[in-house]
């Protein structure tokens, strides 16, 4: 994509003195619900009011949205509060209806981004418009697929583009609903620094009490804004109840978030330093997560050895691992001394885990 600077123009034109904020309910449920939330958000720093009209569900039978009727409710939101509106689209028909109802911003969900056919259909439907379109990352951690979807829109002449980082699905159970995989977002920024990038802490966490921490990490990593699901009665929301916050909580989150001051005489240095430190924090957290997984495997090995009455220490196997890691570390610019010290510590912790299982 050439002339990427054009993509940031729509964001720059907003003239914001704070990160972009998109907020509103996961799903538009009733006209009363939509308008009540909108009125509670109208005098805040929220820039776009969001509401899901068509809700792609993993399994049939769950609430799949009110459909086109909800677009009329969003029109009332704009008329009564002056707020700009946005919703998710997943096919040509959705796009055409959203354009008819003058929705200001459209986003494309993770399930749609995975399909080049869907992305091309949406791109064709949007051709010739100046709508703002944000593309969520695909369900799986595939940077090329994410960029490919955006490129299809750009090729169709859509210049007001941006991306939404909503985390990635995994079969493993973690504290997140969708693992952030921050390094993918960082690589995305490095490749396209002028493409606005929004973070969706609601879908990453799946839990409202984690939204602040993920939002702060995103801002520390120079994200341009946040999309946070907001409901006046989140516990009784018709979809994704656990990850929605009240308007009052959203306001508190926005007040408590730390945002860099561009007026600092050394702003450029501090911004770059903070960004690199945030990247270090992300990698450190990943190291801890991986070590935790490794020790769970060690627990399994300990259980197996206990069943077969096999000794914990297997010197031949350990020496093979150490030799491989020294060579691999050298390829990554890591000294032999460091690799030996690190893996000896990991090995000792693994032995401790196995002995605990065997003797427990």
Task: Note whether 170 and 223 are same-domain residues.
Answer: yes
SS3 of residue 112 by DSSP:
helix
| pTM for this entry | 0.77
283 pLDDT band, cuts 50/70/90, is confident
Q: For all residues of the chain together, what is the average pLDDT?
A: 90
Strands (E), the chain: 20-24, 48-50, 84-89, 105-108, 132-136, 161-165, 197-199, 225-229
Task: Note whether 92 and 162 are same-domain residues.
Answer: yes
Q: How far apart are CA 10 and CA 6, in angstroms?
A: 8
How many domains are contained in the chain?
A: 2
pLDDT at 264: 59
Task: Note whether 129 and 148 are same-domain residues.
Answer: yes
pLDDT at 265: 65
| pLDDT at 261 exceeding the cut of 60 | no
Among residues 242, 259, 276, the one where a domain terminates is: 259
Question: For residue 187, what is the domain's CATH number?
Answer: 3.20.20.70
pLDDT digits 0-9 by tens, 298-319: 899 888 888 888 887 778 888 8
pLDDT digits 0-9 by tens, 142-172: 999 999 999 999 999 999 999 999 999 987 7
Task: Note whether 44 and 135 are same-domain residues.
Answer: yes
21 pLDDT band, cuts 50/70/90, is very high
Asked if residues 210 and 175 have their Cβ atoms less than 8 Å apart, the reply is: yes
4 pLDDT band, cuts 50/70/90, is low
Candidate from 21-35, 68-82, 182-196 with smallest mean pLDDT: 182-196
Residue 228 burial (CB count, 10 A): 27
pLDDT at 138: 96
The boundaries of the domain holding residue 83 are 5-259
| Relative orientation angle of helices 92-100 and 69-81, to the nearest 10 degrees | 30
Task: Note whether 234 and 307 are same-domain residues.
Answer: no
| pLDDT at 266 exceeding the cut of 80 | no
Question: For residue 290, what is the domain's CATH number?
Answer: 1.20.59.10
Among residues 234, 259, 284, the one where a domain terminates is: 259
pLDDT digits 0-9 by tens, 24-72: 999 999 999 999 999 999 999 999 999 999 977 666 667 777 999 999 9
Among residues 207, 227, 259, the one where a domain terminates is: 259
Task: Note whether 277 and 214 are same-domain residues.
Answer: no
pLDDT at 341: 86
Task: Note whether 154 and 88 are same-domain residues.
Answer: yes
Q: Report how far apart, in Å, the C-alpha atoms of 62 and of each of 35, 46, 157, 239, 274 are.
A: 23, 29, 36, 8, 43
């Amino acid at each position: 994509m050439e002339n990427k600077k054009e993509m940031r123009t729509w964001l720059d034109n907003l003239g914001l003195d704070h990160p972009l904020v998109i907020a509103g309910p996961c799903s538009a449920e009733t006209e009363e619900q939509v308008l009540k939330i909108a009125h509670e958000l109208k005098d805040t720093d929220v820039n776009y009011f969001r509401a899901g009209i068509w809700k792609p569900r993993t399994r049939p039978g769950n609430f799949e949205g009110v459909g086109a009727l909800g677009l009329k409710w969003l029109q009332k939101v704009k008329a009564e509060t002056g707020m700009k509106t946005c919703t998710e689209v997943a096919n040509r028909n959705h796009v055409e209806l959203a354009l008819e109802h003058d929705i200001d911003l459209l986003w494309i969900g993770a399930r749609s981004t995975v399909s080049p056919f869907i992305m091309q259909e949406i791109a064709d439907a949007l051709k010739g418009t100046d709508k703002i379109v944000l593309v969520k990352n695909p369900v799986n951690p595939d940077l090329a697929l994410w960029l490919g979807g955006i490129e299809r829109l750009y090729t169709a002449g859509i210049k007001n583009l941006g991306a939404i980082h909503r985390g990635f699905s995994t079969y493993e159970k973690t504290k997140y609903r969708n693992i952030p995989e921050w390094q993918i977002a960082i690589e995305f920024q490095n490749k396209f620094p002028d493409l606005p990038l929004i973070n969706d802490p609601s879908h990453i966490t799946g839990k409202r009490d984690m939204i602040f921490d993920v939002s702060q990490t995103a801002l520390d990593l120079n994200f341009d804004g946040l999309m946070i699901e907001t409901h006046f009665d989140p516990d009784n929301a018709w979809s994704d109840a656990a990850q929605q916050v009240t308007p009052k909580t959203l306001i508190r989150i926005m007040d408590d978030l730390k945002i860099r001051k561009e007026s600092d005489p050394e702003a450029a240095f501090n911004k770059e330093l903070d960004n690199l430190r945030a990247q270090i924090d992300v990698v450190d957290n990943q190291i801890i997560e991986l070590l935790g997984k490794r020790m769970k495997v060690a627990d399994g090995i300990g259980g197996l050895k206990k069943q077969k009455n096999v000794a914990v220490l297997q010197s031949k196997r350990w020496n093979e691992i150490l030799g491989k890691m020294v060579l691999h570390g050298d390829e990554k610019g890591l000294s032999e001394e460091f690799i030996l010290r690190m893996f000896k510590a990991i090995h000792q912790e693994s032995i401790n885990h196995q002995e605990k299982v065997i003797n427990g």
